[in-house]
């Protein structure tokens, strides 16, 4: 399971739980999330008295088809919890604009974040982020597990896969030999990486048409881990990770790969 609206530095409560489990000898397998094109990260850059400017303006567009339900999270540095940032969702037809929803603080954890949950009709929408009138240096994360953004960036791994000792799993497409387009990517920093990619789309009892997503890939990997532990119960979490990554099929150059951009080939696949 992925938890949204959490820091990507492994400092959230759920990441702490995963870290504690591995310290007790438990192999913790976690999906990286499905945010490849549904995540934006950047420094707060206000214009017009407190409206954030993305790469191409103050609007980050998204599309809705048929009747859909949007879930969207906005989070920022824990050290700046005293600052206030808000995500606003607008509908537009190119001429008219209408405010649909404004994010509200999520009080179920200690992380500075807000979220929007809204039913959408088919059409074009955009997100604005408002905050202080002056640049604060805050790092903002905008993510949606249901819709993709016009402006998006790497570094989209979700908690608890952000915990350093967790075996983090992305989704791999054996048909194309590459990472699934929705599978979250890493930035290349030391804090958060994708350890392995595994196939999804397998038929399941409740999903005869195929269980897709990084959660399915993580389940596939967890089954492999269970077989390893059954064969050798003395394996530590670090030993399991070494065994999995060293025996996976390397579909690119030998050895660890740089984080792939959306659409590029997978580093290693089970």
Token pair of 125 as six digits = 């929408």
pLDDT at res. 75? 93
pLDDT at res. 2? 83
CATH number of 13-36+156-269: 3.40.50.200
Chain segment 7-66, per-residue pLDDT in tens: 766 677 888 889 999 999 999 999 999 888 899 999 999 998 899 999 779 999 999 988
Q: Tell me the sheet residues that pair with 249.
A: 269
Chain segment 147-203, per-residue pLDDT in tens: 999 998 866 788 899 888 899 999 988 888 888 888 888 755 445 678 899 998 777
Chain segment 33-43, per-residue pLDDT in tens: 988 889 999 99
DSSP output for 40-92: EEEE--EETTTEE-BTTBS-EEEEE-SSEEEEEEEEE-GGGTTS--EEEEEEE
- Checking if the pLDDT of 243 tops 60, the result is yes
CATH topology of domain 39-143: Jelly Rolls (2.60.120)
pLDDT at res. 3? 81
pLDDT at res. 212? 84
CA atoms within 13 A on the CB side of 121: 4
pLDDT at res. 250? 74
In contact, 269 and 175? CB cutoff 8 Å: no
Chain segment 220-242, per-residue pLDDT in tens: 999 999 999 999 999 999 999 99
pLDDT band at 257, cuts 50/70/90?
low
103 vs 251 pLDDT, higher one: 103
The mean pLDDT of 68-84, rounded to a whole number, is 92
CA separation, residue 234 to residues 26, 221, 231, 243 (Å): 11, 19, 9, 13
- Checking if the pLDDT of 264 tops 50, the result is no
- Which pTM does this prediction carry? 0.78
Give residue limits of the domains in the chain.
13-36+156-269, 39-143
pLDDT band at 265, cuts 50/70/90?
very low
pLDDT band at 251, cuts 50/70/90?
low
Of all residues in the chain, the percent with pLDDT exceeding 70 is 88
pLDDT at res. 30? 94
pLDDT at res. 52? 97
The mean pLDDT of 241-261, rounded to a whole number, is 70
């Amino acid at each position: 399971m992925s938890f949204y609206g959490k820091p990507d530095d492994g400092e959230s409560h759920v990441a702490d739980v995963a870290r504690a489990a591995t310290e007790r000898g438990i192999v913790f397998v976690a999906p990286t999330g499905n945010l490849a094109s549904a995540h934006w990260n950047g420094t707060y850059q206000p214009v017009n008295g407190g409206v954030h400017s993305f790469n191409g303006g103050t609007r980050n567009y998204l599309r809705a088809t048929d009747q859909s339900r949007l879930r969207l999270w906005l989070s920022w540095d824990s050290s700046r919890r005293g600052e206030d940032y808000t995500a606003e969702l607008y509908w537009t037809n190119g001429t008219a604009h209408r405010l649909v929803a404004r994010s509200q603080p999520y009080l179920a954890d200690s992380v500075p974040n807000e979220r929007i949950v809204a039913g959408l009709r088919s059409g074009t929408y955009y997100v604005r982020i408002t905050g202080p009138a002056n640049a604060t240096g805050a790092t903002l994360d905008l993510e949606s597990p249901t819709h993709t953004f016009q402006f998006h960036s790497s570094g989209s791994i979700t908690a608890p896969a952000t915990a350093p000792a967790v075996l983090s799993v992305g989704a791999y497409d054996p048909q194309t030999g590459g990472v699934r387009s929705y599978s979250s990517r890493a930035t290349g920093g030391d804090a958060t990486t994708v350890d392995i990619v595994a196939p999804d789309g397998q038929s399941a009892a409740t999903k005869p048409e195929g269980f897709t997503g990084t959660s399915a890939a993580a389940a596939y990997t967890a089954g492999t881990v269970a077989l390893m532990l059954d064969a050798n119960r003395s394996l530590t979490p670090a030993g399991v990770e070494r065994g999995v990554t060293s025996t996976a099929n390397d579909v690119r150059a030998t050895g660890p790969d740089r984080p792939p951009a959306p659409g590029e080939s997978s580093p290693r696949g089970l």
